[in-house]
Amino acid sequence: MAYVAIADRDAQEYDHHEPDTFITKYVWSQDHKVIAIQYGMTAIFVGVIALMLSVMMRLQLGFPDSFSFITPESYYQFVTMHGMIMVIYLLTALFLGGFGNYLIPLMCGSRDMVFPYLNMLSFWVYLLSVIILLISFFVPGGATGAGWTLYPPQAIAQGTPGVDWGILLMLLSLAVFIVAFTMGGLNYVTTVLQARCRGMTLMRMPLSVWGIFVATILGLLAFPALLVSAIMMLLDKTIQTSFFMPAMLSAGEQLSHTGGSPVLFQHLFWFFGHPEVYIVALPAFGIVSDVLATHARKNIFGYRMMVWAILAIGGLSFVVWAHHMYVSGMNPYFGFFFATTTLIIAVPTALKVYNWVLTLWQGNIHLRVPMLFAIGFIFTFIHGGLTGLFLGNVTIDLPLSDTYFVVAHFHMVMGVSPVLVVFAAIYHWFPKITGKMYNESLGRWHFWLTFFGTYAIYLPMHYLGFLGVPRRYFAMGSTDFMPQSAHDLNTAITISAIIVALTQILFFVNMIMSLRSGKKSDPNPWGATTLEWQTPDNPPKHGNWGHDLPECHRWAYDYSVPGYKDDFIPQNVPASGDAPVGRDHGVHH
Amino acid sequence: MYITLIFIAGIMVTVIGWLLRQTFNTQPWVATAEDNAVSGASLDANSKTILLAGFLAVATSLFGLFISAYSLRMEMPDWSPLAEPNLLWVNTAMLVLASIAYQWARNVAIEGRTSAVRFGLSIAGLLTVLFLVGQMLAWQRLMSEGAYITGNPANAFFYMLTAVHALHLLGGLWVWARSTIKVWSGAEADTVRLSVELCAVYWHYLLLVWAILFAMLINT
């Protein structure tokens, strides 16, 4: 294996100059842990806005024409902003900017990211993109209502809400976000490659790091596609070029656009859009693997296969994009090709699911809150994954396309599933990030209400999809194919959605109360093996490791090793001999 | 799309192939003294070099996608080729010379000849600015001939691609300015060596991108 001789390495000097003012410590901070929290808080803040938007949508769908403040225009704005915020500004930012920032240096045994200044810049540019996005709610005409896919021509044609300013700000915000992501992403990749502690081979890294690492590579290569389409659409919008805009009449007048190709936009958008699914999913896969192994007190089943599956999914995710475009009138052979690649990607994904289940088998399962969320994820992910097999086949996709079946599928697979992992991760690392314990029973209530609540929302949606109920419609009115029971179902879904949204208050109450007056946490409350739990201070201080960097002596999954007193051996404990000074890990032969 | 796919497939094969090689014949669950002794840096390169390599991969994806958008849009019936001004050949020569000058500055920086670095950097920067001015003149000439950006998709692509390429060069010039100011205010060649080395690579890369874009623009 290729590793650099230690003497040649850029020495990671121990930085004695800890930032001492409030501003340098908490605002213009270059510490990866502070930046992670800044990223996380911002992402969760916009995520809450997106959650409220979804409740407004559901109010209209469940109780049509009952709320005067929801007009057709505002409904489309809610749909669009909900989708875009959730996918990009919440999930991408939270998994990579939030967890990536927090976990990579700690799990790899580094002091910080390799380029701390660039890391700080990445957050502030991300915040700028969020501010631009939020401003679009308040400009004349409001935010764009083009749907999160922003398909032209309607995205920039008169009649779509927010066509004057909303769409401009959306495209600008996306471009700024991509700049922020690129700065952060290059940093994460370089840190994983170059700044691991001594003994941390790539194959000793926890799967969380693998997932975040490969997702970052995907993001770096895929986000340019979104940037290209955003730039070209901005030009179509502002100076009337015709990259995407065909010749068309608007309000009886011929527009100046000629001959542009809306399908070209779809290709570019989905060339980004599909890898984006895995940019969100791969970190979730990695994190859930670590949470499952830790709370089942068992090594992850098939570690190498898990790494290979992450790499295979990452590679394949670039050759499946057109399965989002089966109804765009493509050549049938083209569709056949993409259906095949789509079904192939199910192989490594299914392999991961089997391995998670086999990790649980004969494990010493502790059903603590993070574990509940992790197991919940296995359910929702299998569920959403299986409906993906339906939609991946062209002949089944055609009738189901643009129905609630699709909405149910992608919400299960890349909405609910990653969000359950987000919660698993927050509960799991809360004691490390804050040094306090969360409230267990509030956490359990949060889990069970969220888990059953989301099923109550999305299971019936599959049935609505089979009936042929189209997505994105403001109101269904009375139609022959929708019996009264389907309307009632819509009402029930809305009630569930409101309950699930309110349930999240439990989470915030728990976080805030535990932060203020939670029980002080043990440095390693779960008995986890990975390095972030072995820091000298809890929560870790600037520089993470005190004077000496840790050394890695084993892989990340030495749980329940026969012959040892404890059921875990931390990565920094040597194979024979004593535990590090001042700590008793109870290692005996 | 095929062009982009080939580019990205190439990058992915390199990255994933390299990562896979790290995973073969390993048994991570067995703790070995050999593994304990590795440094935790996988590549024998400076971190900034890796940062640049990563950025070039991102830029390759970006330009590759622009090129594939160009090739898809070109096939639509309303495309009418643009007559690019001959001035572009002069500009291309400027960029080639800028690249050569940067390479020379890199060589003398490695040798530690500070005054030569000053000279080399200044020439490289001057030639690059001349290239950018030339590109603006080319825009002006096209507009004076009535070839506006909205006239035809071929025009629109020309303006957009030259602008994106120029923006990348401007980013490069920012780094160039920092090292140039540094050596002119008395710093030794050693202090800017890495920056000059990386910039030289970046200039060659942008020359290559320009060569591909230019060939594509004049042939269609």
Q: What domains does chain B contain, in order, with CATH numbers? A: 2-33+43-218 (1.20.120.80)
Q: A206 in helix, strand or coil? A: coil
Q: Identify all chain A residues contacting B62, using CB atoms and an 8 Å cutoff.
A: 224, 227-228
pLDDT of residue B122: 97
> pLDDT tens, A268-299?
999 999 999 999 999 999 999 999 999 999 99
pLDDT of residue A421: 98
> pLDDT tens, B156-180?
999 999 999 999 999 999 999 999 9
Q: Considering CB atoms only, which of A243, A268, A555 is closest to B156?
A: A243
Query: From its phi and psi, is residue B132 left (phi > 0), alpha (psi between -120 and 50) or beta?
Result: alpha
Q: What share of chain A is helix, strand, coil (3-state, %, to 5)?
A: 65, 0, 35
- Chain A stretch 280-319, residues whose beta carbon is closer than 8 A to a beta carbon of chain B: 299, 303-304, 307-308, 311, 314-315, 318-319
- Burial (CB count within 10 angstroms: exposed 0-12, middle 13-18, buried 19+), residue A318: buried
Q: Say if CB A380 and CB A454 are below 8 A apart.
A: yes
Task: Tell me the shortest Cα–Cα distance from A115 to chain B, in angstroms.
Answer: 9
pLDDT of residue A583: 40
Percentage above 90 pLDDT, chain B: 77
pLDDT of residue B2: 74
- Of B87, B132, B118, give the one whose Cα is nearest residue B182: B118
From CA B9, how far away is CA A293, in angstroms rounded? 33
Which of B18, B20, B36 is the best residue to mutate to test the A interface, defined by the most A CB atoms within 10 Å of its own CB? B36
Q: Identify all chain B residues contacting A222, using CB atoms and an 8 Å cutoff.
A: 61
What is the value of ipTM here, to two decimals? 0.95
pLDDT of residue A587: 42
Q: Say if CB A440 and CB A368 are below 8 A apart.
A: yes
From CA A152, how far away is CA B131, in angstroms rounded? 35
- Chain A stretch 91-130, residues whose beta carbon is closer than 8 A to a beta carbon of chain B: 108-109, 114-115
- Chain A stretch 406-465, residues whose beta carbon is closer than 8 A to a beta carbon of chain B: none
The string of DSSP codes covering A52-73 is HHHHHHHHHHHSTT--TT--HH
| φ/ψ of residue A249, rounded to 5 | -95, 140
Q: What share of chain B is helix, strand, coil (3-state, %, to 5)?
A: 80, 0, 20
From CA B150, how far away is CA A236, in angstroms rounded? 9
Q: What are the Cα distances from residue A275, in Å, to A318, A345, A447, B215?
A: 6, 12, 29, 31
Helices (H) and strands (E) in chain A, counts: 16, 2
Query: Among A435-439, A450-454, B27-31, which stretch is predicted with the lowest mean pLDDT?
Result: B27-31
- A98-111: average pLDDT: 97
Task: Tell me the shortest Cα–Cα distance from A103 to chain B, in angstroms.
Answer: 16
- Cβ-defined contact of B44 to A4 (cutoff 8 Å): yes
- Burial (CB count within 10 angstroms: exposed 0-12, middle 13-18, buried 19+), residue A343: middle
Q: Is pLDDT of A9 > 50?
A: no
The residue ranking higher by pLDDT, B70 or A5, is B70
Q: A500 in helix, strand or coil? A: helix
Query: Among A87-96, A451-460, B32-41, B209-218, which stretch is predicted with the lowest mean pLDDT?
Result: B32-41
Q: Considering CB atoms only, which of B20, B42, B164 is closest to A311?
A: B20
Q: Is pLDDT of A83 > 70?
A: yes
Q: At what angle do helices A369-392 and A262-296 cross, to 10 degrees?
A: 150
CB atoms within 10 A of CB A497: 23
- Of A569, A586, A570, give the one whose Cα is nearest residue A578: A586
- pTM reported for the whole predicted model: 0.94
pLDDT of residue A7: 42
- Of A535, A568, A278, A292, give the one whose Cα is nearest residue A425: A292
Written as one letter, the residue type at A490 is: N
Q: Is pLDDT of A553 > 50?
A: yes
pLDDT of residue A579: 44
Bridge partners (DSSP) of residue B37 are none
Mention every residue, 6+ apart, whose C-beta is less than 8 A from residue A449.
Answer: A499, A500, A503, A506
- Cβ-defined contact of B29 to A555 (cutoff 8 Å): yes
Percentage above 70 pLDDT, chain A: 95
> pLDDT tens, A197-221?
999 999 999 999 999 999 999 999 9
Which of B34, B58, B63, B158 is the best residue to mutate to test the A interface, defined by the most A CB atoms within 10 Å of its own CB? B58
Q: Is pLDDT of A503 > 70?
A: yes
Which of B61, B68, B148, B165 is the best residue to mutate to test the A interface, defined by the most A CB atoms within 10 Å of its own CB? B61
CB atoms within 10 A of CB A559: 23
> pLDDT tens, A229-253?
999 999 999 999 999 999 988 888 8
Q: Is pLDDT of A128 > 70?
A: yes
- Cβ-defined contact of A221 to B35 (cutoff 8 Å): no
The string of DSSP codes covering A337-395 is HHHHHHHHHHHHHHHHHHHHHHHHTT------HHHHHHHHHHHHHHHHHHHHHHHHSHH
- B70-99: average pLDDT: 93
pLDDT of residue A330: 87
- Cβ-defined contact of A242 to B38 (cutoff 8 Å): no
Torsion of CA A420, A421, A423, A429, to 10 degrees: 160
CA A544 to chain CA centroid, nearest Å: 26
> pLDDT tens, A158-192?
999 999 999 999 999 999 999 999 999 999 999 99
- Give the A:B interface size as CB pairs under 8 Å: 199
From CA A542, how far away is CA A393, in angstroms rounded? 51
Which of A3, A300, A564 is the best residue to mutate to test the B interface, defined by the most B CB atoms within 10 Å of its own CB? A3
pLDDT band at A480, cuts 50/70/90? confident
- Which residue in chain A has the smallest CA separation from B150? A241
Query: From its phi and psi, is residue A280 left (phi > 0), alpha (psi between -120 and 50) or beta?
Result: alpha
Q: Is pLDDT of A6 > 60?
A: no
